[in-house]
Amino acid sequence: MEGQGPIRHIPQALVERLYHDARADRWSVSIERFAAALQASADNADAPDIGRYLKGLHLEDLALACGCAAGEEGAWEHFVREHRPVLFRAADALRPGGDARELADSLYADLYGMQERAGERRSLFRYFHGRSSVATWLRAVLAQRVVDAARAGRRLEPLPEGDDSIESTRLAVPAASPDPDRTRYVALLQRALKNAVAALSAKDRLRLACYYTQELTLAETGRVLREHEATVSRHLAKTRRALRAEVERRLAAEDRLNDAQIERCFEYALDDPGPLNLGGFLRKESWSDRSI
Amino acid sequence: MKKQSERDQSIDALLRRQREHLVESPGTGPCVDAETLAAWMDGALSGDALAAAEHHAAGCARCQMMLASMARTAPEPAARPWWRPLTVRWLVPAAAAAIAAVVWVSVAHAPGAPAPAATPAPADRTQAAVPADPPLVARDEAPRIPASSPDSEPKAKAAASAPRPLRSERPRVDSTSDSAVLDGVIGGQSRDVVTPPPPAAEPFVPRPIAETVTVAAESSALVGRLAGRGGGAGGGIVTATVQILSPEPAFRWRLSTPAVILRSIDGGLTWTLQAGPAGFVLTAGSSPARDVCWIVGRAGAVGLSTDGATWQRRPFPEAANLAAVRAIDAKTAVVTTEDGRQFSTVDGGATWARNP
């Protein structure tokens, strides 16, 4: 994502003012280095008003990141003192007693920039552009690493023994049913629901995914969508009603089912154990308790 | 045909069962990088950039997991001391206005009342004029007075003329946070608990611990009586409460002056009186999980409940007045003193370190 936008020159007067506002001299950051960070941030973003964009940055955090990237001792001391607890708290919240702390610790090497290229340290801070606070950015970097580690770990795990068990589970309920259409009804409803969900807006799908797939609370879902939890609840209820109506419409229009048959579709689908969730990394047990 | 609520429940159950299919559509474009993710969570994304990120994440399991991680680890907004603005800016004029209103209502405007100079028993008159168990009153509405009260109209006028805390003066009412909010925020709606002066003739009747009370009818009166027992100034014309929301909205606490702790597990419909640490004058609280709650108060008072029922006092290095607490879990919390200093613990309050 670095350096994607067109290069736009930042007026020197603006650089000097922002340098002063950021108090970058606290960390012995030169104005040239700070100007380069501003330029990188502006290039990364596609803001129409570059002045307004730059003034809206977390300038002090950007200056701190510049200082840390340059290996300034004072900046590092401040960073470790202020942000290490934040990182550890986030790690503990993600994986209580797990390996997230190790991942958090491993971040420091990358943040410090152990590798060098052409005599320049390659610090992870070069990806920080000041659009968020350093604390939020650190949590995002940690989240990215934890998620990738979890997904990689899942890929290495053997599939559950169980194709037989899947079949036996899936066949158990239909076998007990006297309705020969039961399996077909369940499949029709699942297809209709899947298509109805796919037809929702991206925001509605994201809200559903946060709440149902990721099992976030209403409040946590609201943090993602920047909505109050009451608003999330209202939107979810509205979406459920819309989904129900759309599923019924599809079953009636596309599959020619009458009202009684549609009711049976829902009834059978609710009784059906459904396919096993092989996307196990999405399951609740891979995360901390959702209430935390 | 099923009722609408049953239909909603059925689709809810199906969505829970089919949750893995909600992310089957492939996300468009590259995954959201950490810097953009951070900007998103800090509200710095807007317009096309936000729409593109949402569009991608709606179909991308990896990005959804990262967003979920960010949401789970988001720090709570710092709780502001609820009592400070009330006490400093409003309590005195509010109390004066309320006293004036009560006197005006009960003495000058009571039907058939004698001249003020001839009023023999103000305590009895006050008791007659004010219902024993007033209902919760919405802050942003004119206070509702029971229709049976003969003084409804004058009292409403008087109350409406009394200074009211400005909306902007209150801590942000955000039930997504676990921080304390002012004055009984229930279900996202702001409510005040307005309690009358305790009747002089009515002795305090202790209630058994863990008694469940109905909030609308009893708990406000209970709180008022308990506040009166604590010697609230002049019986406490206005009793403010702090409500602490856990991440699960059904589970919440309510603190009231000076040391009343109530808990609800049904979203505020009923409240259970809990036995808190002795000698606390509570100021704020934070609940990072449904059964975990931190409370702080004056003179270095820190309490912790990890089972939602019992409270333990935690040592604090100073006798400073504590104004706010922000808890991450049962082990980790940050406490802010009245003068702005912060102390952290990572071992459930056994030890504290001052934040630089």
Give the pLDDT means over successive 10-residue stretches in chain A (292 positions). Answer: 56 93 92 92 83 93 93 90 86 75 80 70 88 94 88 64 42 56 87 88 92 90 92 93 92 90 86 48 32 26
Flag if A82 and B19 touch (Cβ within 8 Å): no
Q: Does B6 touch chain A (CB under 8 A)?
A: no
Q: How many CB atoms lie within 10 A of CB A31?
A: 15
How close are the terminal C-alpha atoms of chain B, in Å? 64
Q: Assess contact for A44 and A129: CB atoms under 8 A.
A: yes
Flag if A247 and B11 touch (Cβ within 8 Å): yes
pLDDT for the residue numbered B105: 67
Q: Which residue of B has its CA nearest to A213?
A: B19
Q: In whole angstroms, what is the distance from residue A6 CA to residue A42 CA?
A: 9
Q: Which residues of A touch B69 (CB under 8 A)?
A: 94, 139, 142-143, 146-147
Q: Assess contact for A194 and B21: CB atoms under 8 A.
A: yes
Q: Assess contact for A107 and A138: CB atoms under 8 A.
A: yes
Q: In whole angstroms, what is the distance from residue B30 CA to residue B32 CA?
A: 6
Q: Which token pair is A68?
A: 């840390």
Q: Which residues of B touch A202 (CB under 8 A)?
A: 51, 54-55, 58-59
Q: In whole angstroms, what is the distance from residue A182 CA to residue A160 CA?
A: 27
**Whether the bond into B198 is cis, omega within 30 of 0:** no
Those residues whose C-beta lies under 8 Å from the C-beta of residue B208, and which sit 6 or more positions away, are none
Flag if B33 and A1 touch (Cβ within 8 Å): yes
Q: Assess contact for B212 and B271: CB atoms under 8 A.
A: yes
User: Which residues of chain B are under the pLDDT cut of 50?
Assistant: 1, 85-88, 112-239
The beta-carbon neighbor of A132 closest among B23, B42, B246 is B42
Half-sphere exposure of A52 (CA within 13 A, CB side): 5
Those residues whose C-beta lies under 8 Å from the C-beta of residue B88, and which sit 6 or more positions away, are none
Q: In whole angstroms, what is the distance from residue B316 CA to residue B320 CA?
A: 9
Q: Which of B328, B349, B248 is nearest to A96 (CA)?
A: B328
Instruction: For residue A245, give how far its alpha carbon lies from the nearest alpha carbon of chain B (Å).
Output: 10
Q: Which residue of B has its CA nearest to A288?
A: B72
Task: Give the B window 199-228 contacts with A, CB below 8 Å.
Answer: none
Q: Does B12 touch chain A (CB under 8 A)?
A: yes
Q: In whole angstroms, what is the distance from residue A192 CA to residue A247 CA?
A: 5
Give Cα separations from A84 to A77, B257, B354 (angstroms): 10, 37, 15
Q: Which token pair is B166?
A: 């400005």
Q: Compute the residue count for chain A.
A: 292
Q: In whole angstroms, what is the distance from residue B38 CA to residue B70 CA?
A: 8
Q: Which token pair is A242?
A: 């819309």
How wide is the angle at C-alpha A249 spanned by C-alphas A272 and B6, nearest 5°? Answer: 50
Show the beta-strand stretches assigned E in A10-123.
116-117, 120-121
Q: What is the pLDDT of residues B217-242, one digit of tens each?
A: 333 333 333 333 333 333 333 345 67
Q: Which residues of B touch A214 (CB under 8 A)?
A: 64-65, 67-68
Q: What is the pLDDT of residues B9-62, one digit of tens each?
A: 778 888 887 666 665 555 567 889 999 999 999 998 888 888 889 989 988 888
- What is the pTM for the complete model shown? 0.53
Flag if B22 and A197 touch (Cβ within 8 Å): yes
Q: Which token pair is B336?
A: 């802010």
Give Cα separations from B84 to B11, B164, B235, B260 (angstroms): 47, 15, 19, 18
Q: In whole angstroms, what is the distance from residue B312 CA to residue B252 CA?
A: 18
